[in-house]
Amino acid sequence: MTSHVIPSYLSGDALGPWGVFLQQIDRVTPYLGELAFWIESLKRPKRILIVDVPIKMDDGSVAHFEGYRVQHNTSRGPGKGGVRFHQGVTLSEVMALAGWMTIKNAAIGVPFGGAKGGVRVDTRGLSLAELERVTRRYTSEIGFLIGPDKDIPAPDVNTNERVMAWMMDTYSVNQGRTSTGVVTGKPISLGGSLGRHDATGRGVFVVGQAAALKQGVSIPGARVCVQGFGNVGAIAARCFADAGAKVTTVQDVSGTIHNPRGLDVRKLIEMQLAGQHIVEYRDADRITDDEFWSVESEFLVPAALEQQITAANAGRIRTRILLEGANGPTTPEADDILNANGVLVVPDVLANAGGVTVSYFEWVQDFSSYFWSEEEINKRLDRIMGDAFAAISETAEREKVTLRTATYIVACKRVLAARQLRGLYP
C-alpha cells in the first residue's frame, strides 16, 4: 500500500522558509515532464538531525543550545552547505536552506547535493572561548554525518574561517587523522582556497553584469542599493563600485544610509573592519529601514536574511535588476509582484552560487593537494557563473518563465534525472 501522507514537519503550512521552498518546487513541477514522477524526493529531506549542544560557560554554568544538520538530497554527490550561528535559527529555515543548496549546486553544475546546518545561539553574547566550545561540541555531535565524501560544511551567517578551522580540527582529532576536505572556507594555511572570501559577492557581481547586458543597463553610473553589508553585500558593493557604479544606499543591522552621489564603499569596509557601524559614516543621510525599499536604483542587492521582500513591500521597489545575494530573501507572492512590475529577479540559487563554486574548487584542491592561483580561480568562477546564467536565461526565454523558474527547471531536471538513473534500493 502506497502512502503519500506528509509528516507535519514537512508541511508548507505556516512553516516559513520551508513553506516557501515547497511553493517553489510546486511551481516548477509542470515543466519537468516524466521526471515529475520523482518530485516527492525534493519535498522530503533525506536526513534531519537535531542535536543538543551543551557547553560550559566562562562563569562555570552550563548552557544548552539546539543544533541542526539537514541533508536534503545527495543524488548528485555529497551534501554541501554552510553552518550558521544565529538566535533565529529554526528547523524550517535549515530545511529550506538545504533545499536551496540542492537547487543551487545542480543549477551551476557542481557535483554536490544540498545540505545545511545551524545552531540557535546569539554569538554576540559569547566570548571567543565559548564560541569555540559551541563549535567543537556541535561538530562532535554531527560528526558521524559529515565527511569529505559525505557532507561538507562551510561558513554562513556568523561563522567564518576561524570557525571552519575549529570544525576541521575537531573532526580530524575524532577521526585520528588530518582531514582538510571535511569543510571549506578554511584559512589558506589549513587548505583553504584563494578567492574563497570574495567568491559569493564576486559571483553576485558577475551575474549582475550578465543581467545588465540582457536588460540593456550600463554598469558605469548605475545606482546600486545593498541590504546587508557582511561578506556578500560588502564584496558585491565593492565590485560594483570598482566597475564605475554608484552605491547609493546601504543597510545593515545598525540602520540605513543614503547618498545619491554615491558612498565610499572601501571606506565603509574599513569602518566595518575597525568595528564601527555604517551609520557612523558621515557623508550620507540616515533614512529609515523601511524607506530603503523605495529608493530608486538600477540594481538592488538583498544580502541579509530570508523573507525580506514580501507582498507588503515588493510593490514599492523601484529597480531594474534584483540580485539575491541572500538565501530566500523574496517570497513567492513578492516574486509575482516584481515580475508584473518588470523587475528582473536573478534568484539566490543562481546569484549567490559563487561561494559554493569556489568551495568546490577548494574541495578539489584539498583532495589533490595542488592549489591554484587566485587569478585562475577567478577565471574559472567567472566562466562557470557566466555559463550558468546563459543556460538559464535561454531556458527562461524558451519556456517563457522567470529566471527563478528557469533555474529550478534546469536544476530539478538534473537532480531528478540522477534520482531516476540511480533507482531505489532496496
pLDDT for 20 equals 87
In a domain, 417, yes or no: no
Gyration radius (Cα) of the chain, Å: 21
| 336: Cβ contacts below 8 Å, ≥ 6 apart | none
Bridge partners (DSSP) of residue 301 are: 226
| CB-count burial class (<10 Å; 0-12, 13-18, 19+) for 313 | middle
Active site residue 116: yes
The CATH number covering residue 347 comes to: 3.40.50.720
Q: Of 351, 374, 395, which one is at a domain's C-terminal end?
A: 351
Q: Of 351, 370, 404, which one is at a domain's C-terminal end?
A: 351
Total residues found in the chain within this entry: 426
My answer on whether 228 and 172 are in the same domain is no
Q: How many domains in the chain?
A: 2
In a domain, 12, yes or no: no
In a domain, 40, yes or no: no
CA distance 11 to 18: 8
In a domain, 295, yes or no: yes
| Residue whose cell numbers read 525580506 | 308
My answer on whether 170 and 222 are in the same domain is no
Q: How many helices (H) and strands (E) does the chain have?
A: 12, 12
Cα–Cα distances in angstroms (integers) from residue 165 to residues 55, 62, 98, 149, 184, in the given order: 19, 24, 22, 18, 9
Check: pTM over 0.85? Answer yes or no.
yes
Q: Of 146, 178, 210, which one is at a domain's C-terminal end?
A: 178
In a domain, 149, yes or no: yes
pLDDT for 29 equals 96
Query: What confidence tens digit (pLDDT) does each residue in 142-199 have?
Result: 999 999 999 999 999 899 999 999 999 999 999 999 999 999 999 999 999 999 889 9
Judge whether 335 and 345 are in contact, CB under 8 Å: yes
Alpha helices in 243-274 (DSSP H): 265-273
My answer on whether 258 and 117 are in the same domain is no
- Checking DSSP bridges between strand 79-85 and strand 47-56, what pairing results, if any? unpaired
Grouped pLDDT means (10 residues each) for the chain, 426 residues: 52 71 94 96 97 97 97 97 95 94 96 97 96 98 97 94 98 96 95 91 95 94 94 94 96 92 94 88 91 95 88 94 93 93 95 94 93 94 94 95 95 97 92
In a domain, 394, yes or no: no
Query: 221 lies in which domain range?
Result: 199-351
In a domain, 93, yes or no: yes
My answer on whether 155 and 256 are in the same domain is no
Set 116, 214, 379, 413: catalytic member: 116
My answer on whether 102 and 57 are in the same domain is yes
pLDDT for 157 equals 87
pLDDT for 2 equals 41
My answer on whether 242 and 170 are in the same domain is no
In a domain, 192, yes or no: no
My answer on whether 206 and 338 are in the same domain is yes
